[in-house]
């Protein structure tokens, strides 16, 4: 997926990419409030099959973040994806795995960022986009995701999808939706490598050369049964030679932790 920089003020970017000089097996904790970089792409994966809940957030018809359809007017994404943007700047492409063809385009109507989102520490990095009009369900093309689920155990296999770059050093966005399979890392194991990790996060781990890296931001992490359990938030690498997918944990907002906020927000804006 893709790689972008995040400094003290977040600009229009996507996945938080945390720079570090740690080796893969280091147990030193990285302060996730420093050296942030936004990332947005799947590295080391392959072309994804039909993923009817997948959405592309676009500005001037250019992809910048992923999202998940969770209701007929609602897209789940990362809070940092919506920073310094107006709804009138953004359209949402659904119903396709290829950015250059097919699909349906919807205009964003309202943005909602979690009220406790902390851009400097990647805390509560979850947001919602309400679109104008209703998305019509089309089996196999446009469907809302099941989201949340139970607490995910360490070692669980999951899948990340996104349109980010496909090389560790970034590169152009992928026109075709990519996927990579990863495994959930236990909270204590993740805390040993990264600071500011808690119950609101899911960390995943894969071999070096596979993972998220910018442009994947806001996109879904799905369990084997298709339940969306995470939202892409940040990646970890050691610049400049390794870039993203450096064999270190990737971080996601844990959707089950935010179920109440998600449902309450949608319910309070059901009409209008």
Active-site annotation holder among 71, 125, 216, 250: 125
Active-site annotation holder among 217, 223, 233, 256: 217
Active-site annotation holder among 80, 114, 201, 257: 80
* Annotated catalytic residue 217: yes
Pairing of strands 15-19, 62-71: unpaired
Backbone angles phi, psi at 176, to 5 degrees: -100, 140
User: What is the 3 state secondary structure string of the chain?
Assistant: CCEEECCCCCCCCCEEEEECCCCCCCCCCECCCCCEEEECCEECCEECCCCCCEEEEEECCEEEEEEEEEECCEEEECHHHHCCCCHHHEEEEECCCECCCCCEEEEEEEEEECCCCECCCCECCCEEEEECCCCCCECCCECCCCECCCCCCCCCEEEEEECCCCECCECCCCCECEEEEEEEECHHHHHHHECCCCCCEEEEECCCCCEECCCCCCCEEEECCCCEEEEEEEEEECCCCCCCCCCCCEEEEEHHHHHHHHHHHHHHCCCC
Catalytic residues: 80, 125, 217
């Amino acid at each position: 997926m893709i790689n972008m920089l995040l400094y003290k003020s977040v600009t229009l970017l996507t996945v938080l990419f945390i720079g570090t000089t740690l080796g893969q097996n280091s147990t030193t904790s990285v302060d996730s409030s420093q050296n942030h970089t936004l990332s947005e792409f799947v590295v080391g994966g392959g072309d994804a099959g039909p993923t009817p809940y997948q959405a592309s957030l676009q500005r001037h018809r250019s992809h910048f973040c992923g999202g998940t359809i969770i209701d007929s007017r609602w897209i789940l994404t990362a809070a940092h994806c919506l920073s310094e943007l107006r709804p009138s700047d953004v359209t949402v492409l659904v119903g396709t795995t290829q950015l250059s063809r097919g699909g349906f385009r919807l205009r964003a109507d309202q943005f909602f960022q979690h009220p406790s989102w902390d851009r400097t520490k990647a805390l509560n990095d979850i947001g919602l986009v309400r679109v104008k009009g209703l998305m019509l369900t089309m089996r196999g093309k446009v469907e809302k995701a099941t989201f949340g689920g139970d607490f995910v155990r360490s070692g669980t296999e999951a899948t990340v999808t996104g349109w980010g770059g496909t090389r560790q050093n970034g590169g152009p966005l992928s026109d075709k939706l990519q996927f990579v399979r990863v495994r959930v890392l236990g909270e204590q194991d993740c805390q040993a490598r990264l600071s500011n990790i808690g119950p609101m996060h899911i960390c995943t781990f894969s071999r070096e050369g596979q993972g998220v890296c910018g442009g994947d931001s806001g996109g879904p992490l799905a369990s084997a049964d298709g339940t969306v359990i995470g939202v892409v938030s940040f990646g970890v690498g050691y610049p400049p030679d390794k870039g993203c997918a450096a064999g270190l944990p990737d971080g996601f907002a844990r959707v089950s932790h935010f179920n109440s906020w998600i449902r309450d927000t949608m319910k309070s804006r059901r009409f209008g």
